[in-house]
Amino acid sequence: MTQPAGASDAPGPGALQPLLPSDPSQLAGYRLLGRLGAGGMGVVYLGRTDNGELAAVKVTHADQADQADFRARFRREVEAARRVVSPWAVPVLGADPDAPEPWMATAFVPGPSLGEAVRGHGPLPERSVRILGGAVARALAAVHAAGLVHRDVKPGNILLAVDGPRLIDFGIARVTGETGLTSVDMVVGTPGFLAPEQAEARAAEIGPAADVFALGCLLAFATTGRPPFGSGSLDALLYRTVHDEPDLAGLPDALLDLVRQCVAKRPAERPTAEEVAARLTEDTPGAAADWLPAPVVTTIAARSAAMLALPAIDATAPGVAPAAPPKPSRRGFLLLGAGAAVLAAGGGAYALVNSRRDKAGEDGKAPAPKVPDTWAIGLLADLSGPAKEIGQAQERGARLAVEQFNAIHKGKPFTLQLKVSDDRGDRGAALAAARRLTTDPAVVAVLGPTSDDTGQAALPAFDEAGLPLLTVSAGYNLLTLRDANTTVLRAIPNHIMAGTYLSFATTLLPQVRRPGVLQERTDDQYSWQYTGGIRFGFKQAGITPHFRVVPGRATDYRRIIGEMIDAGIDAYIHCGVRSTAVLAARALTELGFTGPKFTGQHVFGPAFLKEAGAAAEGWFVCAPVVDPVQRAADEKQKPADRKAVQDFLAAYRKRYGTDPAFYTGESFDVVNMVTAWLATSSAKGPLTRKGLWAALRAQKYTGAMGGYEFQPNGELKGVGTFIYGVENGAYKFIGGAPGYPNKPKTS
């Protein structure tokens, strides 16, 4: 079975779909029994000959066939597949590239792809991987002997059969050294399973070694269940492929060295496909199925039985005649009931008035709504999990703001409460924790979340309720940078902007010319976004950094950073979490590195100072928060601004008997921004959740910790990133990060 052009992973035969009215019933001697998959370029059908032989028949769309370059590519695919002679490559049974709708038939394999098998049943045992790798390596050796490069060796292009695996899909294969039908700057292949020379579109370097690199990635995936360069956005995968060390944790010793050699960055350092086959082959599957785990064999058996039970030809699916409406299910009833409940409560447009109403007067007119006695600010935070120090600081700041509001207003126009929901820093618990607040009709807005992960998981609850969510610590860009955001206001820069400002801060030091940037992937979204911002910032400054990427499981930081020092770095920037920054700090100290060291938000906090100890000295840490104590002592501020932070500091010390932690002051400010708007607007009539986000977004608010102004999409305007230096085991506030780079002077 080959994939339809444009499809990333065609469905397996277990997902056979009926023919559509527009589909042919026969093609070139094949009776078409159903659809195996479809993409933008064509359709793959399951076909059967008169003698019962099954085939995957790939047919291109007529509009594609009219394009001369597409027909040439299809012809090349047919020719490439026919040139490969191997028991482990799916053979071509017939083809006609010159037909009005070009088609090609290949032998049908009634088994799942490697990707389906691993996703459905978990990684394969070592023996299965060795047999799999040996067979695929021999198929690739045949490809290379035919003068071809496959260029798309991935789990979706390996089918598992009882008697062994099969390599499929020669749609982007090309003759070694050929570039005629592919742009020289076009990345061709599947990110995560392509070689660095493919990732950087170095066409002249793409040869058989690129397939061996992909084979190494394939073996790692089959053994561990995860791609060695992770997952995520296209740009992130391409970047890691070039700069990252593969994540090979979990590979048995017998496979580790071979896989590591296969995924070497330089093509010349990789073994040939023949060498891989020789090192992997201990036995062959023959005709037995015992080379695969039982659950995979069961899947193959079930699909084979389904193929045997197929009729002579399936009827096509009905045309445009409307299907009879299904009977209402209990699920549909429950969904309808939930929707009715939301409407009854007012949903996103719930009026912030008490559901109690005055009895109708003697004139019979409907009573006016009564203003509620109590409204609430919600707090969604990690109060007992990994980020509990930040969550607890946010709770204290929010509670102080609520208490001050009630003391000043004394129940007029209303009394305010703080309603708290602890998500424990657990992504799986975040949505339920959020809904405890969003379904409470008294809650007008919510402060939170503490972290990026819980924010992403909780976001649907706020979108459903139309309830504003204001965060002072979650910097993930897609909380706000998404279509029609009307939910989130971010009172700190997103991670991309924070990384940009960090790079600008680095340029304040004139000696920095070759900074080293380490991206470690424990928190992949944070580190990738931070690195992206840093890359942009240094580009603006005319500085070329040395980049290095490592898996989150990496622990040998002495070796990693030693290699960066050997590459000539004069500054070090850590894009990662606190635990790995501690490892980096110790390694830099042991190696005697004397250049400046920078890091960002996910490292900032007292735990880094405690865990790194003396190795933390001299680090610069950029964070989106201000130390209230140092801000109160800053005589350069305007008198009104300084008084505001001093009043906050005095009130906090009186309430809690200690100085506030980081993130407390910003939480205090954001809650005050909401309550100030409520107090001013309540006199103008009933308030609603609908429109509240837009009203808050339009504000220009100045609080104890500074000013807050937002862009139309809910992002913070301005820089909002601050620099701290570690001195004598404590953070010393240096100032705000610059909003533009200092370009190095040329001599």
Give yes or no: 69 in active site. Answer: no
What is the rounded distance in angstroms from the CA atom of residue 59 to the CA atom of residue 48? 15
Q: Which of 69, 98, 152, 247 is catalytic?
A: 152
DSSP SS3 for 4: coil
Strands 148-149 and 174-175 turn out to be antiparallel
Cβ 647 vs Cβ 631: under 8 Å: no
Cis previous bond, 449, omega within 30: yes
Rounded Cα gap, residues 407 and 411, in angstroms: 8
Cα gap 681→675, rounded to integer Å: 10
SS3 536: helix
> How many angstroms separate the Cα of 123 from the Cα of each of 128, 241, 570?
10, 22, 43
The amino acid at residue 189 is: G
Cis peptide leading into 413, omega within 30 of 0? yes
Query: How far apart are alpha carbons 715 and 481 in whole angstroms?
Result: 8
> Is there a contact between 539 and 533 (Cβ–Cβ < 8 Å)?
no
For residue 703, which of 742, 674, 738, 740 has the smallest C-alpha distance? 674
- The amino acid occupying position 72 is A
How many other CB atoms are found less than 10 A from the CB of residue 508? Answer: 16
What radius of gyration do the chain's Cα atoms show? 31
CA distance 195 to 676: 56
Q: How far is CA 248 from the centre of its chain?
A: 20
What distance in Å separates the CA atoms of residue 475 and residue 723, rounded to the nearest whole number? Answer: 17
C-alpha closest to that of 77 among 164, 175, 195: 175
Active site members: 152
